[in-house]
Each structure stands twice: as structure tokens, then as C-alpha cells.
Structure 1
């Protein structure tokens, strides 16, 4: 039996760059999750007889919302729901299942790298049939529907046993509980030379951060690749991520960093985040920034079987350093600079215009799925180490000797008063036209703009994507408000200095960026607007 429940709209259900993210307490309000899911189903066409994928990162509320989504999918007319065992599907694995099953789309239940638990964060994102996040025209339609919704519909049925593999029916709809790891692991074996990695004798430390990649890393690294038991640390997904923040950066993965900088360091260290789409790469005594990792992976991707025929193009988000552009230029392939958000890469990948994509926020991926993929990056690094016999440090040094080095850092000011953050950005935008030709902190400004992007695949235009101030010589600072938080505003300040090959490519990053940090403060009056003397997180 299908039951209809009357409801009233919520005015705060506008999806951001990665779906709808709020505190758990918000999602626990009566009708809140149901309203958003119903709005998705009302907007999406072709539901009758279609397949829907559902899964999440295992955080608190994951199972509860999955049960609601299953009952609502039955009422919406779907013929089949594919759900990961235990409610688990990493974001890249969900993308893969959508593509392999020819699904209409999928609900990914995650707040990515944000903390989990009863007092922390939850999220729902809709991915379309290519496996990638819904484009803006879809998310805008979903938001519009949330503002007019008056009822939602669900099957009056018992909970599905999410822990037992197999099929059951809910109001005539098949619910298939699958092994969340198997299809993804098989895909990785097709892309990478597992035999070469096994034979290389490497030692590895991987921190799953008590999040979703634990089962994937254990199966692939320890079982299929034969790394020692214990290679995967914090490998059991926990609803609160063990009380830790599952963001793979040098603050929240500090223990891994300390290990990799010690005398007992293994050859290679890595971590992934809450839903498995981000990565941290550290070699023995060598941290690799996400921007550099993208460039180095692109330069060496041909060493892996899945990329032996070369790359069609490289895409990066605007805040990501230009290091990958220099690789594309040397390879003679196109490079693309997009707004933040993987959906922009999805268009390029679908059009066959790019093969590898990356964001400075620790996300890299390729055309194998339509999401960034943390373990994919780890495995490509391992394939490169195995094929070359070189260390991470050697690969980094040789790369910089060839291409020069983009010294890079991101300063995050978290939980800033939203009105203060908006004022900072408004004042910056107000003086952009007056900046070119002026000097600040000893640097001469060549250009200044508010980044806008025209998608080469469909001609759509995205404006107001971040303020860029470009200095003579290839250095720059970028200011942007993040859309991934759940309270207040996060101001991100991206700092970049380019040193050409033959220049100073082995200096301390902080020293090389000091003048750009000073310029950023003078340009934006960060202390005045935020009340902060220093950033909360530096990556």
C-alpha cells in the first residue's frame, strides 16, 4: 500500500555544489528528508520501470534515510533499487554502479569530508545517469520543487534487511542488496597493473579515517595486492568516524604525516575521506599537494594499463594550481579551467574532451567514473612507483626540474559570520577594475576578475565563481566562499607562486608564499572582516 503524507515546504533545501548538507538535527525534523527526496523524484523523469542506486558513507542517519528512500522509490514507480550492503557505497563506487547498471540515477547519502554523528553533518546528493552529480538545471528544479511541495509518498512496508545480500520486493519493486566493493575492485584491476604493484616490494600506510574506504582499501590493498595486514588503518566505517574529522589533510591526518616524516616511514602513505572521493598523498619525507599530485599523475598516467594510449585532455578547477596546465602543454593536449564542482568535469568527460581531472581540495579522478576517486589516485601512484622504481620524492623532484614548481597553499577560515564573509567578497568585487597595474606587498597586479566559465560542451555560463588576482610572473591569490559547510561561511584563500624550472624549486612553501599572504590580507582585509588573526586550516 502507498501512503500519502501531507507536508509543508522548508525554505532551506537548496542544494549546494555537492547536494543538500545540513546538521543531523535538521534532517531529523519530521518530513525534512522526505520532502527533499520527494522533490528529487518529482523532478526526475523516466522513473517508471527504471533502476535507482542508493548508498552512503555509513555516517549517523545513513541507514534510517536509506529505508525512507527505498519506500519512497517504490511509491515513485522505480522497478529496482540497488543498495550497498550495510547501506555502504563510496561516492566513486556509487558512480560506477550507476554506470554499470544503466541506472536512471542514484541517491548518495553523505556529507563527504564533514564530521559525522548525532550532533554533526548529513547530506543527500542526487547523481544522474552518467554517474555524476546532477547539473545545475536539475538542482535548480529540485530546489524549486522543495518550495511548493505539499505531500510525499511512500510504501507502507517494513524495513529492508540491508546486511543480507540478495533480492527482496517492496510493493512490487525489487530491492537488490549488493557487495559494495566487488564491482569497484574489479574496475581498479582493469585500470592498473596489480601484478607489477605486488612485485615492487613497496610498503604502504593507508588511513581510511574510520570512513567508507576502509572495506575498499582492505579488499584491494591487503587482499588483492598483498600488502601486509594492518596496512589499512582505521579501516572500519563508524557512524561518527571515531569522533574524528574525516578530511584527509595535514591537520586531520596528522598521525599519518608524522609517520611519513619519521625514520620508520614506509615507502608510501595515503588517506581518504568520509565518502571516499578525496585523497592525501605523502611519500617518505615528501608531502605532495593535491595540485601537484594531479600534475604528476597526469604526466605519468601512461605507465598504467588503463591510460597507456595517452590522455585526451586535463581539467582542473579554477582554484587548483596551474601545474597541470604545464603538463598538458608539454603533452600537446587541451587543458580546461572550470568552476569548483565535479559536474563541470562530467560534461568534459562525457564529451571525450578530458581524461584526468582534479581539484585542489584533494579530489582527483578520471573518465572511469564521474566522481573524484580517492583510491583511484592511490592506486595510480602505486602503479607509477612500481613502474619507475622511484620514490615519491624522486618523482616530485624530477617533475619540478622539468616543469617548474607551483608553490601552493589554501587558507581556510571556517565558521565565519555569513554577513561578514559576504561583505568581504562584495568589497573585493567592487574594486576589481581598479586593481590591474597597481602594486600590493611588493607584487604588481596584472589582472583581476570574478571568474566566469562558459562550458565548451553546452555553452552554459557559470558566473561569480571566485575572485582572482593575478600577479606578474604567474603567481596569484584567489578568494572564494565554500559551499560544502553546514554552518556559517568558510572563506577559502588560495595562494600560488610559480617558480620556473631551474629556479628555487626546493624551498619551504611558507617562505615562498609569504609576500602573497601579505598581499591577500591587504587586498581583502581578512582580519577586519572575520576577526581572525590566522586561518583555521592550512593545506
Structure 2
């Protein structure tokens, strides 16, 4: 075995987005494509001087490594291990079989005081040989690397000419324990163990066992993704939920043909079961890397925005949050439902751009405890990622503590705080130039929109959302075009950074309804007039040729 110096060349387009570098798996399988990105990461972590000379900051450090088990995961793990061994990493904590959920990576980094972690996932994007793949780096707080580091990695990918890589044979990813690769220890760890201990510190496991002993039933759809082993181990094996409560529980390279995005459009099997006459008491789904969640009651789907608001309102029922919350945060496109709860409880409430790294700064600074975004993600200070199974345990704990169903909890919440009707319309695989031109024209139209009247509403403000981080002072511009109306309604346009094909335009619509007698209107009906305003202002259908959104949630 020896360390090899391998000549390479740069690849265009290796700038990480809000959730790392995501491309089609066929792109990642190009010779040296993954290697270049990882070598650039290791160069930056080592410290690169003005002459491009590699430093020694990576020497002796421990990294965490794992992924969601999608196609190319195991091969990518072997490649990264050989690069790590050649670049001076002392130890890698590797999830058994190359498996670690995204929140579990964060938990292991934090519990084991690692330098950081490499996560192999494209989250909720489709898997398989023709699907997507992704990689991102999480820093020593367990959260996604900041833009300073990711931009430095991108810059390095563009000038890289050499890889440092071991020629050692592949290691066995399955047996627990320590193996050696060159001078580097590879410790294969139980992927669930550290995460389980974090959950024990937050929730009353005896109370949850008692819930299942009453005959309480649930259906958790892991969508053939990485959350399955975690849900089965914790819900069935530790807490005593009936065997078979977790379905689609074995991670598959192609997710069994499922699209592991937990929303009513993609998790249709769960929706069907929860709508049946013999429906379980509680339903939930997780995504590809187990950081997102959808909560479902009998014939009742909870919106992510309502979920965050209700969790905030009832947090003191959970042992880990019994002493109160420091504050809450939501992404700008997420509905203002949590804002109303925060105001009532006297809590600080932050509005950030989309991307969990913005929450990470607030969490590290002790300014917030709970955070969430409209794309089915909620989390707290226990890790620095959103966390699907944690959210499921939170909702189960609320039902155990109150004896109330999902529907009752949400409808009581609306009676107290009012209902924020909310939807997101996704227009997928739009030509990039068309999407960019639409946003450019929207930004140009903003000054003239203020004061315009649309039906019963007047545009009170129109802007392109910008955020100044209250912790580090960094500024993030162009985070989404907003139309803010005099009655509190909002229309938001934003391009997503998580797709791998064309561009995805996301349209967010929201209005507030205080009258409980009007809380049962179907969401799309309640927001149809705002959808018409959005079309009038942006001309989405004419520009894209799409008569309707690809997905409406």
C-alpha cells in the first residue's frame, strides 16, 4: 500500500449549493469528479497558503463519514476513505455499511468532538443509477459548512491539478470495530447508537412506552431510505411500538422506486392508509436522509409551518425543553404561524434565508432552541440539522402528554392563534434562462408594485429579501422576491437550490384567517385569489409553458 499522486483537471460547476454539491449520479461517476471535490475539501481543511501549498491542520483529526445508502454510496465511501488516509486524517468514524442519517452525522460529530463530517446524500431527490447524488461537509458544530468554507472549496476545485490517494484495497464496511487503512483508523460504528442517546436525553421514553401499551397505533413510512433502521430501532425495538409500525424500512439504492420526499404527493401510500376506515392513530414519513418529516393524523395532514408553530406552543410538555425556549427561527418562505406563537410567549423570532446553516449560527449563539422551514423540516438545538425522527418523537410525546389526537391538537391551536393558510407550488425542470429571466423581471417590477390593488388587497411592500446575520454580520442578498399585502398576506417567488435538472421555481402563498368558522376551507381554494395575483404579476404559465405547478403542497 502506498500514497499515490494522481494528475487531475478541474470540472466546471462544482460550487456547492444550500445543501452541498448535488448532481446526477452519472456526473459523480465520472473519473476524478468526486475525488476532485473531496481533495479540494481536504486541501481547504488542511490550510492552503497563497502559493497553494497544503498545510497540516488536517493532521491527527477525526472525521465522521456516512450517507443515505442511495446508489453510489458505498463506492463513494471507499474513495473518500482512501483520500482521507492520504491526506493525514487520523481517524474516520464510519457508519456501518456506509450508512448514517444526516441528523445522526450531526449527533456523532457533536458527541465525539470530531473536526467535522462528510454526508453523502441528495436528501429528498430521487435515487438509483439514473437518479441524483450529493455530498456536503458539516463543520465541528455538526451543521452545514458556512459559505466562506464552501466558496473556498469551490475555488480550490477550479485550480486543482493533483490528487493524494491511497492505493489500498477496499475495506469491509460491515463489521463493527477498528480497521487500518494506511496509518488511518477506520472505526465502523453502530449508526443508531449515538443518535439514540441524544433522543433519550430529550424525550420521556417511559411515557412513550406507556402510549404504545394503551394500544396506540402508528404507521411511519421510511420510504426505503436511511430513516428506516433508526425508526425501527427506536420506535419498535426500544419503545415497543407494534412490529410492522415502520414500513419501507430497508434502505435501497433506488428507494424501491419511491420518491423519498415526505409530502402528500409523494407519500401517497401513507395518505391512503391514514384515510382508511381502520387508519392508525398517527402517521408520519421521512425523506431520503431522514432529516425531513411529514406528520399525518386520521384524514388530516399537518403543514410543516403549523407543525413548527404547534411544537413551539407545547414545547414545555417535552422534558428536553421543559425549562423553556431561548427563541425560535423560521426560513423566510415559511408561514408566519410560529411568529404568532412566539409573540404570545414573549420569545424572539428570527426570519432567515432558506438553508439550515443560517439556523446553525443562531443555535450556536444560544439565541434559538427550535427552528423550521416549510419544506418539511423541523429541528432544535440537539443537533445542527433538521431531524425527521426527532419530530416524530416530539409529536408522539405531545399525544402521550395530552391524550389528544393530531387533528384535535391542530384545530385547538388554530382556535387560539388563528390559521395561516399556506401552500407551496413547485414548477420543476424549467429552462434555467427562462427561470432567471422571470426573476430578473420580477425584481425590476418591485418599485411599481407597491400601492397597487389586487381585489381587496393592496401591496404594502415589495422587496428582494436580504438577511444580515445577527451573529456574524454576514449579508445574504437575493433570497426571494416578496409581495407583502396590507392584510398580512404574502406572495413569494424563489428559485430552489436543491434540484439537479433545469431550474425549480417555487411560489409560496399565505394568508391569515382569525375566524374559526372559516378554518375548514380547502387550502388551495382559500389561496386561489393569491395564486391568480402571482400569475398576473409574474406570468409563470406563459413563460414556462406550464399550465399548473408540478407539485402543490
> How far 1:76 sits from its partner (Å)?
1.1
Give the aligned partner of residue 100 of structure 2. 89
Q: Deviations over 1:324-348 (max 9, x none)?
A: 1111111101000000000000000
What CA distance in whole angstroms lies between the structure 2 residues aligned with 1:408 and 1:503? 17
Q: How many residues align?
A: 539
Q: Deviations over 1:340-361 (max 9, x none)?
A: 0000000000000000000000
Does residue 208 (structure 1) correspond to residue 222 (structure 2)? The answer is yes
What CA distance in whole angstroms lies between the structure 2 residues aligned with 1:209 and 1:182? 22
What CA distance in whole angstroms lies between the structure 2 residues aligned with 1:476 and 1:209? 33
Give the aligned partner of residue 51 of structure 2. none
What CA distance in whole angstroms lies between the structure 2 residues aligned with 1:118 and 1:164? 26
What CA distance in whole angstroms lies between the structure 2 residues aligned with 1:47 and 1:204? 45
What CA distance in whole angstroms lies between the structure 2 residues aligned with 1:501 and 1:88? 48
Give the aligned partner of residue 139 of structure 1. 150
Give the structure-2-normalised TM-score.
0.97
Root-mean-square deviation over aligned CA pairs: 0.9
- Please say which of residues 256-265 and 245-254 is displaced more in the overlay: 256-265
Q: Paired residue for 2:482, among 460, 468, 472?
A: 468
Give the aligned partner of residue 24 of structure 2. 23
- Unaligned regions of 5+ residues in structure 1, if any? none
Q: Deviations over 1:432-459 (max 9, x none)?
A: 0111110135431111100000000011
Does residue 397 (structure 1) correspond to residue 388 (structure 2)? The answer is no
What CA distance in whole angstroms lies between the structure 1 residues aligned with 2:208 and 2:327? 26
Give the aligned partner of residue 523 of structure 1. 537
Give the aligned partner of residue 54 of structure 2. none
> How far 1:506 sits from its partner (Å)?
2.2
Give the aligned partner of residue 489 of structure 1. 503
Q: Paired residue for 1:48, among 33, 50, 59?
A: 59
Whether the 8 Å contact between 1:114 and 1:485 is mirrored in structure 2 is yes
Whether the 8 Å contact between 2:457 and 2:487 is mirrored in structure 1 is no
Q: Paired residue for 1:355, among 366, 369, 379?
A: 369
Give matches, 1:409-488, under 5 Å. Answer: 409-488=423-502
Whether the 8 Å contact between 1:441 and 1:516 is mirrored in structure 2 is no
- Secondary structure at the counterpart of residue 428 of structure 2: strand
What CA distance in whole angstroms lies between the structure 1 residues aligned with 2:516 and 2:191? 47
What CA distance in whole angstroms lies between the structure 1 residues aligned with 2:455 and 2:263? 29
- Secondary structure at the counterpart of residue 378 of structure 1: helix
> How far 1:59 sits from its partner (Å)?
0.3
What CA distance in whole angstroms lies between the structure 2 residues aligned with 1:284 and 1:194? 24
- Secondary structure at the counterpart of residue 271 of structure 1: strand
Does residue 315 (structure 1) correspond to residue 329 (structure 2)? The answer is yes
- Secondary structure at the counterpart of residue 236 of structure 1: coil
What CA distance in whole angstroms lies between the structure 1 residues aligned with 2:181 and 2:273? 49
Give the aligned partner of residue 104 of structure 1. 115
Whether the 8 Å contact between 1:403 and 1:501 is mirrored in structure 2 is no
Whether the 8 Å contact between 1:321 and 1:360 is mirrored in structure 2 is yes
Give matches, 1:49-68, under 5 Å. Answer: 49-68=60-79
What CA distance in whole angstroms lies between the structure 2 residues aligned with 1:454 and 1:436? 23
Whether the 8 Å contact between 1:364 and 1:373 is mirrored in structure 2 is yes
Give matches, 1:377-392, under 5 Å. Answer: 377-392=391-406
What CA distance in whole angstroms lies between the structure 2 residues aligned with 1:444 and 1:262? 43
Q: Paired residue for 2:190, among 149, 170, 179?
A: 179
- Secondary structure at the counterpart of residue 375 of structure 1: helix
- Unaligned regions of 5+ residues in structure 2, if any? 47-56
What CA distance in whole angstroms lies between the structure 1 residues aligned with 2:35 and 2:175? 25
What CA distance in whole angstroms lies between the structure 2 residues aligned with 1:123 and 1:29? 14
4+ aligned runs moved over 6 Å, structure 1 = none
Q: Deviations over 1:76-106 (max 9, x none)?
A: 1111000000000000000000111111111
What CA distance in whole angstroms lies between the structure 2 residues aligned with 1:257 and 1:502? 25
